[in-house]
């Protein structure tokens, strides 16, 4: 796949927009990303851009440029992370020892995890839930 070259990145009240060097424009709506949706204007404006995408380190969110132009699939993982914004995708990827970028592509539907990988992801999330349930409160 040919790398996308970005000419411009800008924010509106409800989305982040990009323009490629060949003039194509696309946006991703904040409402589709719980961390961006819940972020302050200042947090949204605090982003970095590299050859592959946009990162908001303060809120632990990353969007790949490929994703702006990909057909949006409502994958099982996408629905899970949309329903539970308290889940930290980057932390789950680190815990599993897989690339945060690859994990984001699984969530967005750009790449499809194998059935085995999908089960590993859900088992990791369940394990985190079990660990949280086991926390004892000492009064």
Asked whether residue 80 falls in the same domain as residue 128, the answer is yes
Q: Are 9 and 44 in contact (CB under 8 A)?
A: no
Q: What's the predicted TM-score (pTM) here? A: 0.55
Residues 70, 54, 98, 76, CA torsion sign: negative
Asked whether residue 56 falls in the same domain as residue 4, the answer is yes
Q: Enumerate the β-bridge partners of residue 27.
A: 17
Asked whether residue 28 falls in the same domain as residue 80, the answer is no
Asked whether residue 135 falls in the same domain as residue 117, the answer is yes
Asked whether residue 85 falls in the same domain as residue 132, the answer is yes
pLDDT of amino acid 63: 92
The count of structural domains within the chain is 2
Domain closes at, from 54, 69, 84: 69
Terminus-to-terminus CA distance in the chain, angstroms? 57
Tell me the per-residue pLDDT of 34-60, one tens digit each, with 9 for 90 and over. Answer: 788 889 999 999 999 998 899 999 998
Range of the domain at 126: 71-139
Residue ranges, the chain, pLDDT below 70: 1-2, 71-73
Asked whether residue 49 falls in the same domain as residue 76, the answer is no
- Strand 25-29 with 61-64, pairing: unpaired
Asked whether residue 98 falls in the same domain as residue 127, the answer is yes
pLDDT of amino acid 7: 94
Asked whether residue 76 falls in the same domain as residue 120, the answer is yes
* Distance, CA of 31 to CA of 37 (rounded, Å): 5
pLDDT of amino acid 73: 67
């Amino acid at each position: 796949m040919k790398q996308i070259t970005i000419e411009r990145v800008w924010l509106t009240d409800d989305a982040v927009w990009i323009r490629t060097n060949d003039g194509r424009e696309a946006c991703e709506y904040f409402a589709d990303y719980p961390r961006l949706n819940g972020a302050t204007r200042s947090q949204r404006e605090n982003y970095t851009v590299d050859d592959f995408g946009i990162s908001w380190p303060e809120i632990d969110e990353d969007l790949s440029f490929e994703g702006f132009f990909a057909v949006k699939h409502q994958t099982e993982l996408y629905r899970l992370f949309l329903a539970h914004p308290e889940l930290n995708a980057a932390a789950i990827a680190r815990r599993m020892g897989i690339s945060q970028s690859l994990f984001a592509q699984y969530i967005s539907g750009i790449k499809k995890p194998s059935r085995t990988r999908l089960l590993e992801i859900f088992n990791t999330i369940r394990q985190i839930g079990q660990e949280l349930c086991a926390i004892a409160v000492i009064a």
